[in-house]
């Protein structure tokens, strides 16, 4: 975590800030969802509390804190209370591994703008995301309600089925960049778009070198599978409000349910961040490499520490914009598409996405192999 | 005590405590969850040894798939029979502890006898070229052990066929609800 | 433990944030339980079943398809895990001249995978009705 006290302190604060970023993004996302859905459905959303209804979720959180808190008689108390707390952990661990901006070079320290830097980045993120099935199962079993148990089994079966498609869609992008590390992937996406095939080069100067142009099918499969991973519509039969009341969290009320929602929005944020990192250049600006950006900032500011800090802030802002775009797409899709039936959902995961992801892998491997002959 | 050794002892404690919980606790679901914790602990120990990819694979496959399977399947059962069938009492307890001690003694004896025949190595192992040692792993896997790799694929196919046959034989694949 | 490896995963940071998140969640739940009212009412503690009294059947059978889904997931997950080191070193293999061998061996592996998937779909093992 660092060699001396300053580094350890700053790294610790960075970790806590990464977690609090998720917790603080949830009220903003919920506001966006409620106002956005109202806009789509041609009605007003919350607009009474605070300007534009921005204080609505603060009021909701305070209300949740004061609700009566009890466990059903047939619940297994330890698992019932542990499940919402466990639901927070995978999303946080995954989000802390993703770089949010360029590293800050301050004196002799280098602080990457992420909780911790992982050399096997994507394998680590997949590993901790696969632990998300436990929170669902614990909630379903711990509620002592057979409908919650059925909902939990269905939700976890859905999550693990789409984890396959998710893992396989990424193989193409790993082949293209030849690394698991997020920082290296973002670095490889700088500059203008250039393809090289069998010795011929094609440079398209007006487009950035982003992953979406190399792996369009992989991006589509990854994005669709991440909808299923975070139990969002159109894949949210597990918590479908009109059908199953609330699926695996039917017996949870008050603040425990809010913790589940922080976990769900956390998974959405991680999926959007991964989408931006793999396919849209991460924190890089499309039309300027990091070195050029640094140089242009250095013409305004003299101190190299401040130059590095300002560059990092600019890249962080760019990343946040990309994140916001994908989160808006998540919300837009939720209120636009109808929900899948459960057997349609499982068929889609096993019989459509998995074969297409395999096809994408074979195609990418063939193109890379032939292109280097 | 340095940071590294503190981390190792902490992880070792968690792993062994979870493993002991797996064996001693009566409720099967708690046992399976403790198994998941043991897998997570082993994965963390892999990280301290520098095998980052292997740690990730351990988490993905063991903690994220195999124990999820165990937990899911245990939830399909009515566990009252299991809980009442767990044998308690002094004689059975003594037999259990004696068997575990005998096996552990055998294992430790074998390890000590093997290690005492080693020579002490005086040079450090060569550091891997890449930061995560992936290049060595994939070079070995796809050039030297490629036959074993293909056989593994066929083995997984056989397991898939066997599982479907087993479930079908018990009348399972077209559901009863 | 080899001393010359760069730290590829700062385990201290991961463990710290995991424990921090668990404590944060637990503290919030504790706070919520202290701040709320407490009125005992037997109806509140019954399991939810859309408003009707609880109908406990002695043996509710649950489909075995969950077990099948989980096992097939493990198998295909292991196959996907094997593709990761292959994918990350593929261009490197091509550069050192072993591209053909590595490409061919993985194509055979994927063929076995596709055959397994195709067989499993055709045998209707995962038909959810």
Inside any domain, residue C88: yes
C37 close to A68: Cβ distance less than 8 angstroms: yes
Total residues belonging to chain A: 373
Q: How far is A205 from chain B (nearest CA, A)?
A: 33
- Classify residue C37: in a domain, yes or no: no
Query: Which among A193-207, B1-15, B128-142 has the top mean pLDDT?
Result: B1-15
* Structural domain boundaries in chain B: 1-77, 88-113, 133-177
Angle between helices C65-88 and A354-371 (to 10 degrees): 10
Q: Is residue C43 part of a domain?
A: no
Contact C82 B139 (CB under 8 A): no
C-beta atoms surrounding A350 within 10 Å: 24
**Hey, which residues does A110 pair with through a beta bridge?**
A105
SS3 A214: coil
Q: A-contacting residues of C 5-64, CB under 8 Å?
A: 6, 8-10, 12-14, 16-18, 20-22, 24-26, 28-29, 31-33, 35-39, 44-50, 60, 62
Give mean pLDDT, residues C91-95: 86
User: Across residues A68-81, what is the average pLDDT?
Assistant: 85
Q: Is the pLDDT of residue C98 over 90?
A: no
Q: Do A93 and C92 touch (CB under 8 A)?
A: no
Closest Cα in chain A to B130: A119
**Range from A102-111, B100-109, B117-126 carrying the lowest mean pLDDT:** B117-126
**Candidates B36, B60, B132; nearest CB to A134:** B36
From the list C29, C32, C38, the residue with the least C-alpha distance to A65 is C32
For residue B174, list chain C residues with Cβ-Cβ distance below 8 A. Answer: 127, 129
Within a domain: C26: no
- Name, in order, each residue with C-beta under 8 angstroms of A183's C-beta and a sequence gap of 6 or more: A99, A103, A112, A117, A121
**Cβ neighbours of C128 in A, within 8 Å:** 342-343, 346-347
Look at the block and give the residue holding tokens 């789409």.
Answer: A162
- Phi, psi of A66, rounded to the nearest 5 degrees: -95, 5
A365 contacts in C (CB within 8 Å)?
Answer: 90, 103, 106-107
Stretch A22-37: mean pLDDT, rounded? 89
pLDDT at B134 (0 to 100):
76
In 3D space, the residue among A241, A219, A178 whose CA is nearest the CA of residue B132 turns out to be A178
pLDDT class for C21, splitting at 50, 70, 90? very high
Is the sign of the CA dihedral B123, B129, B132, B137 positive or negative?
negative
Three-state DSSP class for residue A207: strand
Enter the ipTM: 0.89
How confident is the model over B77-101, as pLDDT tens digits?
A: 777 776 777 777 788 888 888 998 9
Give chain B as a 3 state SS string.
CCHHHHHHHHHHHHHHHHHHHHHHCCCHHHHHHHHHHHHHHHHHHHHHCCCHHHHHHHHHHHHHHHHHHHHHHHHCCCCHHHHHHCCCCHHHHHHHHHHHHHHHHHHHHHHHHHHCCCCCCCCCCCCCCCCCCHHHHHHHHHHHCHHHHHHHHHHHHHHHHHHHHHHHHCCCCCCCC
Is the Cβ pair B53, C85 closer than 8 Å? yes
Domain coverage including residue C77: 62-129
Number of domains chain C is built from: 1
pLDDT reported for residue C123: 83
Is there a contact between C129 and A342 if contact means CB atoms under 8 Å apart?
A: no
Q: How many CB atoms lie under 10 A from the CB of residue C4? A: 10
The CATH classification number of B1-77 equals: 1.20.120.1200
pLDDT at C1: 35
Chain centroid offset of residue A327 CA: 9
Could you list the beta-strand ranges (E) of A169-310.
192-197, 200-208
Enumerate the H helices of chain C as residue ranges.
Answer: 11-35, 65-88, 90-95, 99-122
Query: What are B25-68's pLDDT values in tens digits?
Result: 888 889 999 999 999 999 999 988 888 889 999 999 999 999 99
Q: Where are the domains of chain A?
A: 23-66, 69-371
* CB-CB under 8 Å, C81 with B164: no
Q: What is the pLDDT of residues A208-236, one digit of tens each?
A: 888 888 899 999 999 999 988 888 877 87
Give the pLDDT score at A240. Answer: 65
- Whether C2 shows a pLDDT value over 60: the answer reads no
* Residues of chain A above pLDDT 70, percent: 97
User: Around B118, how many Cα atoms within 13 Å sit in the side-chain half-sphere?
Assistant: 8
Q: How does DSSP classify residue A109?
A: E
Chain A residues in contact with B76 by the CB 8 A cut-off are 153
pLDDT band at C3 (very low <50, low <70, confident <90, very high): very low
User: Of the given ranges (A177-181, B76-80, C76-80), which has the lowest mean pLDDT?
Assistant: B76-80
- The whole-number average pLDDT for the span B119-137 is 65
User: What is the model's pLDDT at position B61?
Assistant: 93
> B-chain residues within 8 Å CB-CB of A157?
72
- The radius of gyration of chain C's CA atoms, rounded to the nearest angstrom, is 26
């Amino acid at each position: 975590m660092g060699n001396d006290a300053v580094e350890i302190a700053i790294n610790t604060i960075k970790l806590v800030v990464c977690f609090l970023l998720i917790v603080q993004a949830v009220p903003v996302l919920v506001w966006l969802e409620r106002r956005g859905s109202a806009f789509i459905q041609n009605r007003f959303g919350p607009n009474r509390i605070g300007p534009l209804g921005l204080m609505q979720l603060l009021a909701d959180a305070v209300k949740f804190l004061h609700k009566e808190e009890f466990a059903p008689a047939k619940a297994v108390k330890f698992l019932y209370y542990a499940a919402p707390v466990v639901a927070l952990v995978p999303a946080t661990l995954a989000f802390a591994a993703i770089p949010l901006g360029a590293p800050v070079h301050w004196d002799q320290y280098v602080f990457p703008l992420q909780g911790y830097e992982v050399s096997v980045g994507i394998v680590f993120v997949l590993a901790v995301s696969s632990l998300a099935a436990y929170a669902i199962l614990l909630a379903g079993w711990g509620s002592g309600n057979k409908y919650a148990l059925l909902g939990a089994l269905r939700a976890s079966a859905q999550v693990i089925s789409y984890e396959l498609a998710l893992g396989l869609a990424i193989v193409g992008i790993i082949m293209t960049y030849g690394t698991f590390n997020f920082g290296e992937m973002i670095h490889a996406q700088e500059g203008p778009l250039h393809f090289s095939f069998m010795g011929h080069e094609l440079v398209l100067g007006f487009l950035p070198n982003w992953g979406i142009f190399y792996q369009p099918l992989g991006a589509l499969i990854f994005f669709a599978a991440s909808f299923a991973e975070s139990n969002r519509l159109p894949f949210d039969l597990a918590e479908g409000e009109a059908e199953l009341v609330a699926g695996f969290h039917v017996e949870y009320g008050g603040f425990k349910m809010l913790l589940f929602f922080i976990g769900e929005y956390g998974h959405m944020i991680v999926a959007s961040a991964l989408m931006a990192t793999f396919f849209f250049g991460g924190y890089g600006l499309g039309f300027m490499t990091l070195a050029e950006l640094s140089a242009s900032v250095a013409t305004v500011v003299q101190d190299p520490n401040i130059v590095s800090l300002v560059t990092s802030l600019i890249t962080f802002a760019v990343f946040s914009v990309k994140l916001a775009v994908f989160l808006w797409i998540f919300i837009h899709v939720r209120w636009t598409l109808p929900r899948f039936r459960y057997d349609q959902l499982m068929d889609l995961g096993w019989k459509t996405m998995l074969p297409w992801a395999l096809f994408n892998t074979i195609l990418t491997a063939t193109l890379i192999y032939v292109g280097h002959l | 005590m340095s940071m590294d050794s503190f981390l190792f002892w902490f992880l070792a404690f968690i792993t062994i405590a979870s493993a002991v919980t797996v064996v001693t606790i009566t409720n099967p679901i708690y046992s399976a969850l403790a198994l998941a914790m043991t897998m997570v602990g082993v994965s963390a120990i892999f990280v301290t040894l520098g095998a980052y990819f292997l740690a990730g694979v351990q988490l993905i496959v063991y903690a994220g798939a195999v124990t999820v399977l165990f937990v899911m399947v245990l939830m399909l059962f009515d566990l009252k029979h299991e809980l009442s069938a767990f044998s308690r009492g002094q004689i059975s307890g003594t037999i259990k502890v004696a068997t575990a001690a005998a096996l552990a003694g055998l294992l430790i004896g074998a390890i000590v006898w093997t290690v005492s025949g080693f020579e002490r190595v005086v040079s450090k192992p060569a550091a891997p070229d890449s930061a995560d040692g992936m290049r060595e792993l994939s070079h070995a896997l796809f050039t030297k052990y490629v036959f074993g790799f293909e056989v593994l694929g066929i083995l997984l196919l056989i397991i898939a066929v066997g599982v479907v046959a087993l479930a079908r034989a018990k009348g399972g694949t077209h559901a009863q609800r | 433990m080899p001393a010359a490896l760069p730290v590829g995963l700062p385990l201290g940071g991961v463990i710290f944030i995991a424990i921090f998140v668990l404590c944060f969640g637990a503290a919030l739940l504790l706070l919520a339980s202290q701040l709320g009212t407490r009125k005992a009412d037997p109806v509140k503690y019954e399991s939810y079943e859309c408003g009707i009294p609880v109908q406990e059947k002695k043996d509710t059978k649950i489909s075995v398809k969950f077990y099948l889904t989980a096992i097939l997931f493990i198998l295909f997950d292991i196959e996907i895990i094997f593709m990761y080191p292959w994918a990350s070193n593929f261009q490197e293999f091509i550069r050192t001249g072993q591209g053909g061998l590595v490409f061919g061996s993985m194509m055979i592996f994927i063929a076995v995978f596709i055959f397994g998937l195709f067989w499993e779909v055709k045998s209707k093992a995962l038909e959810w009705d």
